């Protein structure tokens, strides 16, 4: 007959995936109870009524659950696919942040005429600061911190990357809270908060998926992605700005939606071929990125409630994104089709 | 293939199994003893290490025994586990020798 203590511990173990519980739960319960029970019936009766798994014990199970759900190489296919897709999504969003950081770096250097071979800096090239109580230097550091965080993530210094990214999102939060308290941010404007949650906080939390059992990040493709992304995305946008065509520029959310839509279109032939090895995880990655970009687009539309034209542009971007992600979504769904859990080792016989 | 470094917890768990099979809580107690109380494994942490070591083929189940109406599963080192532990111990001993030498403790050790 199970005791209250055992029931309480089994409740905590429900955090773990079913396939893992089927394999380890009884063993974990036995080990847990061994740690509490003394063999003295009177003492044990009191313990089983009064004791329970503490916070540290529950945290250790939660940590194990996170590692299993954000699967490593030895987890079932569905968890592995989700783990890989989350890791790639985090890398992609961190790449976007790092590209923004590189853009700030180049604009700052150009505005201070560090590049002697470039023409005189046009007006408005210097990166602006959002104001508030924090000095501009902090915003420069935030931008550069994302470059450092991205590079560290690719070089597999996962915890250092997470700590730096976590520090980098603090000034934005300070700015948001200050804006909300002082009324500088309109109460109907959800865009800045959505940016903080979806583009700042989400990748920081998602970096937990880079654990010991996760396959290593392929270094060179991701390291090269930073300058390539800068040249292909940030430079054309900068060129439009300095040539006086700013009116053509979509906002950050619009650029993000269009980029994800283009990536979906580029990946669609692989997703439809079905033979392409590992295409499903990329399809799932792009679906997650589309969800992130789409959610940000929707919330950031609240910043344009005064301008119906901008609302229409934003909705068009959203429509393009939805149409593009529909091409890869079926492949994403196939990628996580549950496969039976692989036995870690044969049962003792 | 990249060889992943062994974590401190995995090293202690393998060491706890070096002189014979143990069950889950037996490993927790042995690790606490080996580390002078510095490493206190929680059950979630222990099974995170055990399943990883099992997946890597360094430990395997030995037997199950009934105890107070519950089954205790015992684990033992595999041959690969024994070899991996010996290599890790050698690596750590070599590192410790370098550290002691750089701290000027090598002479004291020899004299002692």
pLDDT tens figures, A84-123: 999 999 999 999 999 999 999 998 888 888 877 777 777 7
- Look at residue A276 in the predicted model and tell me its pLDDT: 62
- Look at residue B107 in the predicted model and tell me its pLDDT: 58
Lowest mean pLDDT: which of A224-228, A277-281, A300-304? A277-281
Q: Let me know: does A310 contact A304? Beta carbons within 8 Å.
A: yes
Q: What percent of chain B has pLDDT over 90?
A: 69
Structure tokens at A299: 């919330």
Residues of B in contact with A159 (CB under 8 A): none
Domain locations along chain A = 4-67, 74-224, 250-337
As to burial, measured by CB atoms within 10 angstroms (0-12 exposed, 13-18 middle, 19+ buried), residue B108 is exposed
* Size (chain A), residues: 349
Residues of A in contact with B52 (CB under 8 A): 74, 212-213
Structure tokens at A336: 């996580």
Can you list the domains of chain B with their CATH numbers?
8-111 (1.10.10.10)
Higher-scoring residue by pLDDT: A136, A293: A293
Cross-chain residue pair A64–B24, CB shorter than 8 Å: no
- Mean pLDDT, to the nearest integer, of A290-298? 97
- Look at residue B65 in the predicted model and tell me its pLDDT: 87
Residues of A in contact with B55 (CB under 8 A): 74, 344-345
Q: What is the distance between the alpha carbons of residues A228 and A257, in angstroms, rounded to a whole number?
A: 18
Cross-chain residue pair A61–B23, CB shorter than 8 Å: no
Residues of B in contact with A347 (CB under 8 A): 61
Q: Please tell me which residue of chain B has the smallest CA distance to A36.
A: B25
- Look at residue B112 in the predicted model and tell me its pLDDT: 44
- Look at residue A196 in the predicted model and tell me its pLDDT: 97
Structure tokens at B18: 């070096």
Distance from the B18 Cα atom to the nearest Cα atom in chain A, whole angstroms:
19
pLDDT tens figures, B3-38: 567 889 999 999 999 999 999 999 999 999 999 999
Lowest mean pLDDT: which of A11-15, A118-122, A179-183, A317-321? A118-122
Mean pLDDT of chain B: 88
């Amino acid at each position: 007959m199970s005791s209250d203590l055992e029931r309480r511990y089994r409740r905590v173990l429900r955090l773990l995936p079913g396939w893992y519980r089927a394999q380890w739960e009884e063993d974990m319960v036995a080990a847990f109870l061994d740690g509490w029970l003394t063999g003295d019936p009177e003492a044990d009766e009191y313990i089983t009524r009064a004791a329970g798994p503490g916070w540290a014990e529950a945290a250790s199970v939660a940590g194990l659950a996170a590692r299993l759900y954000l699967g490593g190489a030895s987890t079932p296919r569905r968890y592995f696919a989700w783990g890989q897709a989350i890791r790639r999504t985090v890398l992609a969003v961190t790449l976007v942040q790092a590209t923004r950081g590189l853009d700030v770096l180049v604009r700052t250097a150009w505005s201070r005429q560090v590049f002697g071979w470039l023409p005189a800096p046009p007006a408005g090239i210097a990166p602006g600061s959002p104001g508030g109580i924090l000095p501009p230097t902090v915003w420069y550091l935030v931008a550069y911190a994302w470059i450092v965080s991205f590079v560290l993530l690719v070089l597999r210094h996962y915890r250092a990357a997470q700590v730096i990214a976590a520090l980098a999102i603090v000034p934005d939060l300070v700015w948001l809270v200050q804006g909300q308290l002082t009324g500088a941010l309109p109460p109907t404007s959800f865009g800045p908060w959505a940016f903080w949650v979806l583009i700042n906080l989400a990748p920081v939390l998602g970096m937990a998926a880079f654990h010991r059992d996760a396959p290593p990040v392929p270094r060179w493709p991701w390291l090269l992605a930073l300058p390539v992304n800068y040249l292909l995305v940030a430079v054309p946008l900068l060129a439009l700005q300095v040539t006086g065509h700013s009116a053509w520029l979509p906002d950050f959310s619009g650029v993000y939606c269009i980029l994800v839509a283009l990536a979906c279109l580029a990946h669609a032939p692989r997703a439809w071929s079905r033979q392409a090895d590992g295409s499903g995880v990329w399809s799932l990655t792009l679906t997650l990125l589309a969800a992130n970009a789409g959610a940000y687009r929707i919330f950031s539309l609240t910043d344009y409630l005064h301008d119906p034209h901008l609302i229409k542009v934003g909705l068009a971007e959203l429509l393009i994104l939805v149409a593009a992600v529909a091409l890869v979504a079926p492949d994403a769904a196939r990628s996580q089709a549950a496969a039976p859990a692989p036995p870690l080792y044969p049962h003792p016989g | 293939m990249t060889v992943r470094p062994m974590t401190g917890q995995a090293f202690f768990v393998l060491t706890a199994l070096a002189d014979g099979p143990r069950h889950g809580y037996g490993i927790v107690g042995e690790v606490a003893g080996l580390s002078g109380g510095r490493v206190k494994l929680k059950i979630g942490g222990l099974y995170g290490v055990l399943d990883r070591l099992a997946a890597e083929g360094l430990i395997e189940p030995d037997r199950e025994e009934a105890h107070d109406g519950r089954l205790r599963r015992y684990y033992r080192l595999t041959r690969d586990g024994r070899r991996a532990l010996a290599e890790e111990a050698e690596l750590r001993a070599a590192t410790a020798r370098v550290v002691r030498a750089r701290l000027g403790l090598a002479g004291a050790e020899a004299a002692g």
